[in-house]
Amino acid sequence: MELTIVGAGAIGGVVGAHLARAGHRVVLVDGDREHVAAIRRHGLEVGGLAEMVVAVAACEPRELQGPLGTVLLAVKTPDTLAALAPVVPLLAPDGCVVSMQNGLEESRIAARVGPERTVAACLTFGGFYERPGRVVYSGPGTLRVGELDGRLTSRVETLARVLSDFHPAAATTNIHGFRWGKLILGTIYFATAAVDADVVDILRDRAARRVLAGLAAEALGVALALGIVVEPIDGFDGRVFESGPATETPAARAAWDAQIVYWERGVARRTGIWRDLAVRRRRTEAGPILGALLDAAGRAGRPVPRVRALLALLEDLEAGRRRPDWTNLTELDRAAAVAPAPEARQGR
């Protein structure tokens, strides 16, 4: 299959290297000139749980040529619209853009290329960009693809078969349920990045779990209000927090245990969000991802004080106004005492 992968970092690079090695015709597109140059000179090097060097075509966005058939969009959410700009005029009438991103970006993609040319994916396998020409694959997870309208088409079934040449994948009629399941888990990951500790150590702390469960409960409440049938992700079933975070039930403990197993079997010990803050010193995806959640909460009429406080906290961390610390979780817990009327955010 011919695949254009826009974004050759943590996800796009790992996927592209594996699929190119499997015999698919892959072109990696990335705005980092040094990264592209290194791939052209030496191939793309993958470390971690899949050591390899793969010769794969790579170019900068200005060099992209059409027509484009299947485009896998694997950029950070703040870069969605900029990354789409060179793709839109080159996308074939029967082509599609597959969002392999965090958050709920498929609606923004559909606004540019049309819903009929937009496919959503939910993935949780790990990876990170290490340096020009090298990415790291840190472990397997979930991979689902689906049409926005829930139909099980030959397009998504074919895409699932192709992606399975790298990682077990399946087409689903409930991609929105998977995306929201990941978003619920994502609120927890954002909060762990506010602490200078490994994810498993945070998840093993009972007081921390109570705060994290509060975030999950708020996000779940929005999903349920919007009629989303939330799917479990990597054994983590966000639906167990429907009754709120006060009581840790056996089902909730099972959800936390599943996440601990997930993190212990991989290479990475902290999230990409933490890496953005502590290693790469750049803005995280909190604005677009948590902003979309706040927008949805406004539409659903659901108060989400913890999520709102989490976004403000991460903005402070990005600006250097505070440091990662366990006390940041305490502040999120205090936010639950005040639940202002939800409001839709403007200007996204």
Q: Which domains are delineated in the chain?
A: 2-173 (3.40.50.720), 177-335 (1.10.1040.10)
At 345 the pLDDT is 39
Please choose, from the candidates 248, 247, 88, 104, the residue with its C-alpha nearest in 3D space to the C-alpha of residue 179.
104
Is residue 125 within 8 A of residue 233, CB to CB? The reply is no
At 246 the pLDDT is 65
At 347 the pLDDT is 37
At 343 the pLDDT is 42
Residue 341 is classified by DSSP as P
Distance CA 243, CA 34 (A): 50
At 341 the pLDDT is 42
Residues of the chain scoring pLDDT < 50? 341-348
Q: Which pair of structure tokens corresponds to residue 177?
A: 């349920």
Distance CA 39, CA 326 (A): 40
At 338 the pLDDT is 56
